[in-house]
Amino acid sequence: MTLDSKLGGSKPGGSPAPLMDRADERLKDQSGLAGSVSAFIDRVRSGDLGSLPVIVGLIVISAIFQYINPVFLSANNMVNLLFDCSTIGVISLGIVCILMVGEIDLSVGSVSGLASALLGVLWVNSGWPVAGAILAALFTGAVIGSIYAFLFNRFGMPSFVSTLAGLLAVLGLQLYILGSTGSINLPYDSPLTNFGQILVMPDWLSYLLVALIGASVLFTRMRNATRRQAAGLSASSTGAAVLQAAAITALIGLVVIYLNQSRGIPWMFGLFVGLVVLMNYAFTRTQWGRAMTAVGGNREAARRAGINVKRVYTTAFVLCATLAAAGGVLAAARLAASSQQAGTGDVNLNAIAAAVIGGTSLFGGRGSAYSALLGIIVIQAIASGLTLLDLSSSLRYMITGGVLAIAVIVDSLARRSRASHGRA
């Protein structure tokens, strides 16, 4: 069926047959380890920073807090940090979705608060089974997201405005359903609160998972390389694949060994990372993810390519609000309570800041699921460090706000640099 055969076009390749994608003489040879390093430096210089700023930021933050208070990097504090990460991290993952298409949801905090209130009211007050209450909370999130999508697709209402209105309206709904009680305590010994407060993976399972991660990285890299070689395309060497898999395994392995000195890896954090990996697959390896990136980059081009743009926006809004509701359920489990305060304060800002700090662009079309993971660790590290210093929340707000401002400045500068270096 190829056009090539129908048009009788020239078959590529002569006697020395260069690789199909390495035929152009203007291409620099960037094979091998030295090539990879120089390609990486080129990329960073042109403003394609990836997750480099986050990792540098994380090292600086850890060094400062560890210097001031040696408890900061203790295994016990790190485990607590991972518990705290998971709740807002899941919300932040939804923010990555919506930023990907170049829109925003400012009401994720309120939606998470409403979800936690629903959980308390349905489960504790009305006696629903816990699974039913969780599903109802998630469903409510999905409904709120589809309302935003409807307003956006039907009336062209800017998401900035509709979700700002939603911020207030959903908060009102949360206060309404909590009624005069104000706060509902969840049963302390229930599986859900255990999940949010104490359940950790057994040591053997955590090591098994590390080995599994390393093996799957190696397997996919090798399979990819084999397929590309068989097809006559350039492929990374086996050595590079082994090196990368070994480095990843060693890094995660060391962290896990350290955390297992204390309680271990929280199951809740495992759930969060699982969602991140799933979302990363959806973004990079599915047609839906491609459509999300395309719509965020150039909406009209995506429409003319036959993509159903409205449906893409709808999935983004619904996914964002549903993940916000899931984050609210996890937050309720973490605190063992549904209260009027749930989802208020800095939850909104932290979720958005985490996505942006992690490297997802506010301008749409650029981002990665891993930015939610990296970003929330930065935010929680700052919060945890400042709490250890016994600083009031007033100072914490100011510092987190400053970090968000820096992250957006880095994003804007990198974007300008990419434009001048001819990268998107």
Give the residues lining the site for other proteins (CB under 8 A).
Answer: 1-4, 6-7, 9-10, 12, 20-21, 24, 26-27, 224, 227-228, 231-233, 285-288, 290-291, 293-294, 296-298, 300-308, 365-366, 418-419, 421-424
CB closer to other proteins out of 47 and 253: 47
Helix (H) or strand (E) holding 91: helix 75-100
Residue 27 CB burial class (10 angstroms; 0-12, 13-18, ≥19): exposed
Are 321 and 94 contacting, i.e. CB atoms less than 8 angstroms apart? yes
Task: Count the neighbouring beta carbons within 10 Å of the beta carbon of residue 42.
Answer: 13
- Compute the least distance from the CB of residue 12 to other proteins, in Å: 6
CB closer to other proteins out of 308 and 412: 308
- Compute the least distance from the CB of residue 319 to other proteins, in Å: 17
Q: Which residues contact 377 (CB under 8 A, 6 or more apart)?
A: 58, 81, 85
CB closer to other proteins out of 282 and 408: 282
Question: What is the C-alpha to C-alpha distance for residues 278 and 161, in angstroms, rounded to an integer?
Answer: 30
- Compute the least distance from the CB of residue 10 to other proteins, in Å: 7
CB closer to other proteins out of 93 and 294: 294
Are 309 and 303 contacting, i.e. CB atoms less than 8 angstroms apart? yes
CB closer to other proteins out of 109 and 296: 296
- Compute the least distance from the CB of residue 234 to other proteins, in Å: 10
- Compute the least distance from the CB of residue 300 to other proteins, in Å: 7
The greatest distance separating any two alpha carbons of the chain, rounded to the nearest whole angstrom, comes to 83
- Compute the least distance from the CB of residue 114 to other proteins, in Å: 32
- Compute the least distance from the CB of residue 323 to other proteins, in Å: 20
- Compute the least distance from the CB of residue 322 to other proteins, in Å: 20
Question: What is the C-alpha to C-alpha distance for residues 334 and 267, in angstroms, rounded to an integer?
Answer: 12
Tokens of 405: 């401002």
Q: Which residues contact 51 (CB under 8 A, 6 or more apart)?
A: 358, 359, 368, 370, 371, 374
Tokens of 315: 């999935």
CB closer to other proteins out of 39 and 56: 39
- For 225-284, the DSSP string reads HHHHHHTT-----HHHHHHHHHHHHHHHHHHHHHHHTTT--BHHHHHHHHHHHHHHHHHH
CB closer to other proteins out of 183 and 417: 417
- Compute the least distance from the CB of residue 24 to other proteins, in Å: 4
Question: What is the C-alpha to C-alpha distance for residues 414 and 424, in angstroms, rounded to an integer?
Answer: 10
CB closer to other proteins out of 43 and 396: 43
Question: What is the C-alpha to C-alpha distance for residues 113 and 172, in angstroms, rounded to an integer?
Answer: 10
CB closer to other proteins out of 7 and 188: 7
Tokens of 387: 């709490």
